[in-house]
Amino acid sequence: MDREAYAKAEALRKRIIELLNSGAREQSLELLNGLSQYWAIMGTEFDTKMEPWKAPRIYDISWELPFLEFRIERHPSAWNRVQRWKYDFNSNEVTMISEWSPPENPRYTKQQVQKDAQQIVDALLKGESHPCLQRKENCHYI
């Protein structure tokens, strides 16, 4: 990792830890985007097909330095799989703790769709990046 990437990763790590220590464990856009960017820079290796860009699906966060635990909906349109992960900020290692499929596959809730849409709109209005957005020329695509 070059010096510039290392400096960016350290700044992201510091901000993520500040957010987690402040008790801001909601799925804030800043926290989730920060995790996504940090994991991408650090080359964090997840098992299965869990990728850093999927961080915005994280919820149910618990934090005890240096460990971050969270749940993630792997396929939110069908809710067919929920996983629990543990990430170690000191070693950059991540472990899947559990995986389950709900007996009934409830549809993606209207509240979750509204929340996701609001995060995307907020990012667009602030001119910030969002893992669900791609910029091509002067347009954004979801």
Q: Is the per-residue pLDDT at 130 higher than 60?
A: yes
Structural domain includes residue 90: yes
On whether residue 128 sits in a domain, the answer given is no
pLDDT band at 80 (very low <50, low <70, confident <90, very high): low
**How many Cα atoms are found within 13 Å in the side-chain-facing hemisphere of 131?**
21
Q: What is the pLDDT of residues 95-121, one digit of tens each?
A: 888 877 665 555 556 677 778 788 888
Which helix (H) or strand (E) segment holds residue 60: the answer is strand 58-64
> Structural domain of residue 83, as residue ranges?
3-107
pLDDT in tens, 22-47: 876 565 778 888 888 998 898 887 76
Residue matched to tokens 């995986």: 99
66 in any annotated domain: yes
For residues 32, 84, 46, 104, the Cα torsion angle rounded to the nearest 10 degrees is -100
Q: How confident is the model at residue 9 (pLDDT cuts 50, 70, 90)?
A: very high
d(CA 88, CA 79): 26
Report if residue 26 sits inside a domain. yes
Tokens standing for 5?
């990437």
Query: Is pLDDT of 85 > 90?
Result: no
Quick one: angle between helices 29-42 and 3-21, nearest 10?
Answer: 140
Count up the domains in the chain and report the number: 1
Distance of alpha carbon 110 from alpha carbon 116, whole angstroms: 10
